[in-house]
Structure 1
Amino acid sequence: MARLLLIKPAASFSNKRTEHLVKKLKLVVLLSSLAASGVAMAQAEAPKAPEPDYTLAYNIGAVTDYRYRGISQSRGRPALQGGIDFAHKTGFYVGTWASTIQWVKDAGGSSDAEVDIYGGYKFTGGPIGFDVGVLRYLYPNADISPSPFTTEIYVAGTWGPATLKYSHAVTNLFGFADSKNSYYVDLSAAFELPWWGLTFNPHIGRQNVENNSSSSYTDWSLGLGKDFGNGFSASLAYVDTNTSNYVGAGKNLGKATAVLGVKYSF
């Protein structure tokens, strides 16, 4: 009987302890479930950052030679460049860009700067991204005739890494007489390389100068680009053409060359 009296209280104590532990475990599980549900609901209900109505971006840089469509605009000399771009979330954009130049002075004028003003609309159609717009090239105080001021309309399509673009002059082209309806068509691409974050940029273009067939030519280039982050980037390109008819101060402005550029965007 003594043993029975001793065993019964022990068993009763053990059962109460077990029940107490079970209740604690149930409470812990319940609280954990509630906490997890709260976190999940908070994450699910967290509002997304609204898309800005527009972006405004600036850039400034320098190149060892300002080559445009394969032809040197700075007579093989370094050039300073910079621009401002405004883009609306609907796809509309406007911008301006400027560079120091030399060719207008070599042609007897006074301007040492090119100022571009452009605007357009970007949209997608299936897998292709389209860009249509108008671009005006200005040369302040040019003082040469015919005027080098030029207006072009353009359309471009991008599919994957490749972009095909057509530009059509609705005025005379860069001072060529009777050159309205000249055009430039080019194919370019941007391939991300597996080394050092480099981008490979091949390009080929054809400039047709209306009523000036001897001034029409083909240009091509092979380039590498590197984005260093924090707005800094650099580029290196080999540029060449098949013309020797563009001359400035006795220099062939279409001669093959390597061009190094640096840019800061903010």
Structure 2
Amino acid sequence: MIHFDPRVLAPAAVAILFSGAVQSAEEEDASDTSDRYGSVSGSLLLSSNYMFRGISNSNNRPQVRGDLNWSHDVGLYAGIWASNTNFGGPGNSMELDPYIGFAGDVGETPFSYDIGFWSYNYPGSESDLDYQESYLVLTYKVNKFSAKPSFWYSDNYFGKDFLNGVSSFAYDLTLSYEFPLNITLSGVVGRQTFGSSADELDYTYYSLALSRTCSDFSFELSWHDTNGIEPFLADPELADGNVVVGLTRNF
């Protein structure tokens, strides 16, 4: 039988208790620092296609996407979003999008809001395709169900070298339900519209997705389609019934 000497165990116990207290204090300090200065998060996505409102922006090829976000408890957030592209003419192989916004709950109700500004930039393109959108996203969530209408407005869609001076307004509704085992089923239906001088380009987009989250990873299988796409806006093959698989790592 093995015997333990209390004179040995006592200092060890004190050391364990002290280290626990130090770790707790460090965690509390980290929490205080996070509360004071906000927190940083991000994600990395590997996907079989880059879909944007029903249209492939990667020419039906794989996408690698990253996002780095800073947020504060008061509701303010800002970040940078980046992806490869194959869309927008010669030299364009990258999209780099800074954004800023403010989000919060509406009192004690099941409603929340997110309002912000998103800038789309294509640094390698030989054409001027950069543009910006202001957005408003509302969310109604009860238990495992959520409904999320969103609204996006731009005063110059896709920059000076595409639809110069033409405004755009996109609106959609996302419905989702969370099942056991962290499985979520969601659907989106939306409408992309343009100013009166280009209203013949208006089209409808929709998608259906099934996703599962496990720890810091999430897997998604989705289907995207459109109705009313004009060849001037996009090759119909890039907007016709695309099935996409993606794996995201959150950190």
TM-score, length-normalised on structure 1? Answer: 0.74
Distance in structure 2 (CA, Å) of the matches to 1:116 and 1:216:
24
**Residue 149 in 1 paired to residue 124 in 2?**
no
Deviates more, 1:64-73 or 1:208-217: 208-217
Alpha-carbon distance, 1:246 to partner: 4.4
State the partner residue of 2:43: 59
Distance in structure 1 (CA, Å) of the matches to 2:192 and 2:165:
12
Alpha-carbon distance, 1:250 to partner: 6.3
State the partner residue of 1:184: 170
Amino acid at match of 1:181: S
Alpha-carbon distance, 1:245 to partner: 2.2
Is this contact kept in 1: 2:155–2:165, CA < 8 A?
no
Superposition pairs of residues 241-256 of structure 1, within 5 angstroms: 241-246=226-231, 252-256=237-241
Superposition pairs of residues 115-194 of structure 1, within 5 angstroms: 115-126=96-107, 127=109, 128-144=111-127, 147-160=128-141, 161-173=146-158, 175-194=161-180
Higher gyration radius (CA): 1
Amino acid at match of 1:123: G
Q: Equivalent pairs: percent with the same residue?
A: 27
Q: Which runs of 5+ in 1 are unaligned?
A: 1-46
SS in 2 for 1:59: strand
Amino acid at match of 1:84: L
Distance in structure 1 (CA, Å) of the matches to 2:149 and 2:219:
24
Distance in structure 2 (CA, Å) of the matches to 1:250 and 1:184:
20
Alpha-carbon distance, 1:215 to partner: 2.1
Distance in structure 1 (CA, Å) of the matches to 2:219 and 2:232:
28
SS in 2 for 1:201: strand
TM-score, length-normalised on structure 2? Answer: 0.78
State the partner residue of 2:80: 96
**Residue 224 in 1 paired to residue 210 in 2?**
yes
Aligned residues: 214
Q: Are residues 189 and 251 of structure 1, via their aligned partners in 2, closer, same or farther at CA, if it must alter by over 3 Å?
A: closer
Amino acid at match of 1:91: G
Q: Which runs of 5+ in 2 are unaligned?
A: 1-24
Is this contact kept in 1: 2:166–2:198, CA < 8 A?
no
Is this contact kept in 2: 1:103–1:248, CA < 8 A?
no
Q: Deviations over 1:1-28 (max 9, x none)?
A: xxxxxxxxxxxxxxxxxxxxxxxxxxxx
The RMSD of aligned alpha carbons is 2.3
